[in-house]
């Protein structure tokens, strides 16, 4: 017997004489219930002339707001003081800079209560929000650099949401329900899915993940929040869209918060409903032509259709939820350098050990996905080398030969992890959290459904008995592209070409997350040997920003250019145009650029703002510093008849650089039954 085996045996014998850790010994778990809380914060970014994040098209810049972006937070604590905070933010993905700053501010407010172990920041993956909130070059290319106002809006809004959830903590329960939703997603990468073994494919009839999990949060029997998990991309709004939109998951949240629970436009103190992502890497909401087109030719209608499907099913599960989560609240997390993970044969297709590689994007990454195609340079799955992309990659972002070998069969376009500093993150945050019999696994990628299932299987194998429900929350705490299975990777469709750390990226996630699950099971600490770097030197923007606002001759800021008609029926659309200033002068977070007001006696009552989905705020630069705001309101079917007006709030930058607020109001109009 080796000395190591002898030491292991002696250690095991001694451990048998000691009390089991609280997280293992169920008898030691607190018998009392949880405290729960929910909160929301406005994270809407710059609404004009800023590159949007998701479709990687520099020409897609913001020009208004279809819906505000929100961060929704849920906090659960057990009697022993263990907390878990889960945030769903209506952005494309969470960046490491955002995660690190949020944790810093939480530490200043709450001490050691919220840490990188038990705080989960996830994204709904809308492709219709402004970008520029990363410190990594790759993610800021289409925004021409770092956008400090957008970064601050997201960070401060997330912190406000967690603060609100923490402040509302009170004795309560969390109930869970699971079901299936069909008709809200398709597999946009069928050839890659079909390359997976038959046993994997058999678990997903129709090549889609139809599972939905809903958590019901209650205080004293009163519902305070809904958290839904379902896999479908935030791409109902197309690359042609220039309006900030929370896409289908944001619309689902609106239907529950406003339509079911009557939450007012201010979103203060009311019910909180979040629609989070799981393994949506190859799941598209665009149901026609293999994920290329939505259910209809109208992107707004597509957003409503896919959002309503999710909302209706989530509400059904919410109403039927009876199983209460009970037992310990606990969490384990660790940062892992994914550029060089040694992966054991237990997690690889051939049973042999392999390793991951420094990050790189393949040439087929430029082809884009079906619902966001790139320029016609290469086709998905084309394994031949494109000389143009090869030369461009060498000039812009050279890749060492050993990385190219490691990434095979990927034909590398950009060696994003081989630069100093790297263009994409390499040190990734991983977590496994437990709320009673539910385990939530988090990872910073877009997992295909088979890759995601393999992670669930690996984690579940370490948590037998105690955990009977599992969720994989992708797009969490950072972002490092896609995670395809090794078999899918070999075909080098978009998802495989965008799998950063090589063929064994997926197995590496399985292995490292299984280790965290084992530590959670055994009550062991999970210190990190590495930490993500801060890259403040990358907070550079070449965008000039707002220079000067001027009204046209004979007009003032807030003047009405286009007045509404005298009356409108329900279902009609009201339009008013104003002289305005640049919206980036003041993001008006937790505020609004517009109000729809109804006259009540001698006062005006706000019935809608730009937080509602019935309104749209469009901004247009007419020439030089002259700009206009077009505000539309689709009169709801249940709108009260009466006298209304449209009010616009804006801010103008003068020659001295001073920013001055202004308000304009339209003439009145009536809404008829």
Question: In the numeric block, which tokens belong to residue 449?
Answer: 């459904």
The pair of three-digit structure tokens given for residue 271, joined into one six-digit string: 């019910």
Q: What is the mean pLDDT of residues 213-219?
A: 98
Q: State phi, psi for 558 to the nearest 5 degrees.
A: 95, -5
- H, E, C per residue of 157-210: HHHHHHHHHHHCCEEEEEEEEEEECCCCCEECCHHHHHCCCHHHHCCCHHHCCC
Q: Among candidates 512, 528, 505, 500, which has minimal Cα distance to 458?
A: 512
Confidence band of 11 (pLDDT split at 50, 70, 90)? very low
Q: Which residues lie closer than 8 Å to 63 by C-beta, 6 or more apart?
A: 47, 48, 49, 242, 243, 618, 619, 620
The pLDDT-based confidence of 269 (bands split at 50, 70, 90) is low
409 preceded by a cis bond (ω within 30 of 0)? yes
Q: What is the pLDDT of residues 445-497, one digit of tens each?
A: 999 999 999 999 999 999 998 899 999 999 999 999 999 999 999 999 999 99
The number of CA neighbours under 13 Å toward the Cβ of 520 is 35
- Three-state secondary-structure class, residue 482: strand
Give per-residue pLDDT as tens, 548-582: 999 999 999 999 999 999 999 999 999 999 999 99
Q: Are 127 and 240 in contact (CB under 8 A)?
A: no
Q: How far is CA 603 from the centre of its chain?
A: 40
Q: What percent of the chain has pLDDT over 90?
A: 86
Residues in the chain: 673
- Strands annotated E in 531-636: 560-562, 567-569, 573-580, 594-600, 603-609, 615-623, 626-634
Which H helix or E strand runs over 662? strand 659-665
Given a contact cutoff of 8 angstroms between Cβ atoms, the answer to whether 157 and 41 are in contact is: yes
Beta pairing class for 482-483 and 446-447: parallel
- 499: which DSSP letter? B
* List of E strands, 66-115: 70-77, 83-89
pLDDT higher than threshold 60 for residue 1: no
Judge residue 570's burial from the number of C-beta atoms within 10 Å of its C-beta, 0-12 exposed, 13-18 middle, 19 or more buried.
middle
**If you average pLDDT over every residue of the chain, what do you get?**
92
In the prediction, which pLDDT does 19 show?
A: 37
Residue 380 has pLDDT above 90, yes or no: no
pLDDT number for residue 592 = 98
> In the predicted model, is pLDDT for residue 330 greater than 70?
yes
Which pTM value belongs to this model? 0.93
What are the structural domains, with CATH classification, of the chain? 34-326+433-481+512-522 (no CATH), 560-672 (2.60.40.2300)
Residue 544 pLDDT: 85
Residue with tokens 């143009």: 388
Average pLDDT of the residues in 95-101: 98
Q: Which helix (H) or strand (E) holds 103?
A: helix 96-110
**pLDDT range class, residue 10, cuts 50, 70, 90:** very low
In the predicted model, is pLDDT for residue 374 greater than 70? yes
Residues marked active site are found at 284
Best CA proximity match to 530, nearest among 386, 381, 426: 426
Q: What is the pLDDT of residue 4?
A: 32
The answer to whether residue 268 scores a pLDDT higher than 90 is: no
The answer to whether residues 399 and 412 touch, using CB atoms and an 8 Å cutoff, is yes
- Which residue shows structure tokens 């451990």? 15
- Number of Cβ atoms within 10 Å of the Cβ of 576: 25
């Amino acid at each position: 017997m080796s000395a190591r085996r002898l030491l292991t045996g002696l250690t095991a014998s001694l451990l048998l004489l000691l009390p089991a850790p609280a997280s293992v010994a169920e008898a030691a778990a607190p018998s009392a219930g949880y405290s729960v809380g929910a909160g929301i914060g406005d994270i809407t970014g710059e609404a004009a002339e800023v590159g949007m994040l998701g479709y990687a098209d520099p020409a897609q810049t913001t020009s208004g707001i279809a819906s505000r972006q929100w961060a929704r937070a849920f906090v659960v604590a057990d009697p022993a003081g263990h907390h878990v905070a889960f945030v769903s933010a209506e952005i494309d993905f969470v960046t490491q800079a955002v995660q690190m700053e949020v944790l810093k501010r939480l530490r200043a407010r709450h001490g050691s209560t919220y840490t990188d172990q038990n705080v989960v920041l996830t994204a709904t993956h809308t492709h219709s929000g402004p970008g520029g909130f990363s410190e990594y070059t790759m993610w800021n290319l289409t925004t021409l650099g770092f956008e400090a106002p957008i970064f601050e809006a997201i960070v401060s809004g997330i912190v406000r949401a967690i603060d609100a959830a923490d402040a509302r903590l009170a004795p309560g329960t969390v109930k869970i329900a699971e079901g299936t939703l069909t008709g809200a997603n398709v597999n946009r990468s069928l050839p890659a899915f079909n390359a997976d073994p038959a046993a994997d494919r058999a678990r997903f009839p129709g090549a889609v993940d139809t599972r939905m999990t809903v958590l019901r949060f209650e205080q004293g029997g009163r519902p305070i929040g809904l958290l839904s998990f379902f896999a479908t991309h935030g791409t109902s709004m197309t690359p042609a869209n220039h309006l900030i939109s929370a896409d289908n998951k944001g619309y689902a949240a609106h239907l529950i918060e406003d339509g079911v629970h009557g939450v007012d436009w201010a979103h203060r103190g009311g019910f909180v409903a979040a629609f989070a992502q799981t393994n949506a890497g190859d799941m598209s909401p665009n149901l026609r032509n293999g994920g290329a087109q939505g259910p209809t030719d109208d992107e707004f209608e597509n957003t409503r259709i896919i959002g309503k499907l999710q909302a209706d099913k989530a509400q059904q599960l919410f109403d039927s939820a009876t199983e209460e989560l009970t037992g310990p609240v606990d969490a384990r997390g660790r940062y892992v350098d994914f550029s060089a993970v040694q992966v054991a044969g237990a997690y690889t297709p051939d049973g042999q050990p392999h390793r991951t590689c420094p990050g790189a994007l393949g040439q087929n990454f430029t082809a884009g996905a079906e619902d966001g195609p790139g320029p016609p340079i290469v086709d998905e799955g084309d394994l031949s080398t494109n000389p143009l992309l090869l030369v461009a990659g060498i000039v812009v972002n050279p890749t060492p030969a050993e990385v190219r070998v490691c990434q095979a069969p990927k034909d590398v376009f950009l060696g994003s992890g081989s630069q100093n500093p790297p263009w994409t993150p390499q040190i990734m945050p991983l977590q496994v959290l437990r709320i009673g019999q539910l385990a939530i696994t988090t990872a910073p990628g877009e997992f295909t459904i088979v890759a995601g299932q393999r992670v669930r299987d690996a984690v579940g194998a370490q948590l037998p008995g105690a955990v009977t429900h599992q969720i994989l929350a992708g797009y969490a705490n950072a972002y490092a592209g896609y995670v395809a299975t090794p078999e899918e990777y070999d075909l080098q469709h978009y998802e495989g070409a965008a799998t950063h750390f090589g063929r064994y990226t997926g197995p590496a996630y399985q292995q490292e997350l299984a280790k965290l699950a084992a530590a959670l099971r055994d009550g062991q600490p999970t210190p990190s040997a590495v930490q993500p770097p801060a890259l403040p030197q990358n907070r550079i923007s070449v965008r000039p920003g707002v220079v000067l606002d001027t009204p046209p001759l004979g007009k003032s800021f807030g003047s009405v250019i286009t007045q509404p008609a005298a009356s409108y029926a329900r279902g009609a659309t009201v339009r008013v145009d104003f002289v305005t200033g640049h919206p980036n002068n003041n993001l008006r977070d937790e505020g609004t650029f517009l109000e729809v007001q109804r006259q009540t006696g001698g006062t005006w009552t706000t019935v809608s703002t730009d937080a509602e989905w019935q309104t749209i705020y469009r901004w247009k630069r007419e020439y030089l510093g002259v700009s206009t705001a077009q505000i539309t309101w689709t009169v709801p079917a249940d709108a009260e008849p009466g006298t209304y007006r449209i009010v616009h709030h804006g801010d103008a930058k003068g020659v001295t650089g001073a920013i001055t607020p202004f308000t304009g109001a339209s003439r009145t109009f009536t809404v008829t039954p």
